[in-house]
Amino acid sequence: MPISFKITYDNPQNRARLGLLQAPHGEVETPAFMPVGTAGTVKTITPEELTEIGFNMILCNAYHLFLRPGAEIVARHHGLHNFMNWPGNIITDSGGFQIFSLGGMSEISDRGVTFTSHIDGSLHFMTPERATRLQNMLGADIIMALDQCPPYAASYAEVQEAVERTTHWAKRCLSSHIRNKDQALFGIVQGGIFRDLREYSVSELLELDLPGYAIGGLSVGEPKEQMYEVLEYTTPMLPPEKPRYLMGVGSPDALYEGVKAGIDLFDCVLPTRIARNGRVFVDEGYLNIRNSVHAGDTNPLQQGCLCYTCRHYSRSYVRHLLNTNEILGVRLTTYHNLYFLKQYMQKLKEAIKNHDWENTVPFWKNEIV
């Protein structure tokens, strides 16, 4: 098996647990948040800085790497790790979500999906076999089966069809997976907000006995309370001895609820995306550093934060950089946001061990100036 997973502590108050994921490029203590390196880089941050912050697993986007530069070019470098000079673990998604959300989809069938590139309008046909082969060439440590992610507003019949197709495609991905010794293939549970379809999706995927399972089709527009409800009944259906991965979730309040529900892995573009817009995480919530109230503020972004940004620069200086479109400003806000989430996940781990959720980890969700 390319990965192993063991639970090191179960919290008696809820389903939260501590775990240790052993993957080809090192250990990952869970629960863990993974920064997103869409095109083979976490925007504005070097691999050395990610390591400095404490990350040892990131996610890369197979859809974007398929379009640019192409899996063949990455393979010439003997995989993504060498291509991007990243020593830690990598998960690649199958590209399914991006095909349905970014590409102009023209046709979908059990065979696969025809879509147009959001870059140049070129036509492509993606099958489960091709998605798996693409990820085999990219060389990630964990790869995802091709799935169909229905939108939040989809009807029961549409979601049911997507679940059945996702199961069908997962079987084909498994059959075509040629790197079983050094790449773990995860399946993706679909089912929208319909409990019986989630149950059906889990039951079908468990028959494949995959090394890990992801929960997809959430954080796609539904209210967060509804997402938490789906997590509450879906997570216990998954085998406790295998890692559970919630896709596309990264706000501190959602991480809080996901960890309590028993999720081990998370990824999201949120911390890097909002950093580019001048929004940073602080203990009280989101802080918009572009606001004029920070023009003369000599304090760091977060009092007591030990990240590089907060140790060296003031709110006033970071605001100046952002407002003059200096690249350093975005680098500094991104560094801080990733550091904040890394520390936040550490606080969640401590909450699990100390049985002190309300005092150790406040329910963070505020918007402040």
Catalytic: which of 141, 147, 264, 267? 267
Q: Among 2, 1, 4, 9, which Cα is nearest to 354's?
A: 9
93, 141, 147, 264: the active-site residue: 93
Series of mean pLDDT values for 10-residue runs along the chain (369 residues): 96 94 98 97 98 98 95 98 98 88 79 91 94 98 96 95 97 97 98 98 98 96 96 98 97 94 98 97 93 97 97 98 98 98 95 83 61
Predicted local distance difference test score (pLDDT) of residue 244: 98
DSSP code string of 243-257: -EEETT--SHHHHHH
CATH 3.20.20.105 holds for 4-268: yes
The predicted pLDDT at position 127 comes to 96
From 241, 203, 202, 168, select the one nearest 1 (Cα to Cα).
241
At residue 369, the pLDDT reads 61
Residue 55 pLDDT = 98
Phi–psi pair at 126, nearest 5 degrees: -110, 125
Q: What letter represents residue 330's amino acid?
A: V
Burial of 7 from C-beta contacts in 10 A (0-12 / 13-18 / 19+) = middle
Known catalytic residue at 267:
yes
Nearest to 93 by CA among 265, 231, 337: 265
> How far apart are alpha carbons 146 and 157 in whole angstroms?
20
Model's pTM, two decimal places? 0.97
What is the C-alpha separation between 151 and 78, in angstroms, rounded? Answer: 36
Give the Cα separation of 7 and 5 in Å (integer). 7
pLDDT of residue 368: 67
Active site residue 147: no
Q: What is the pLDDT of residues 199-210, one digit of tens each?
A: 999 999 999 999
In the chain, list all ranges with CATH 3.20.20.105.
4-268
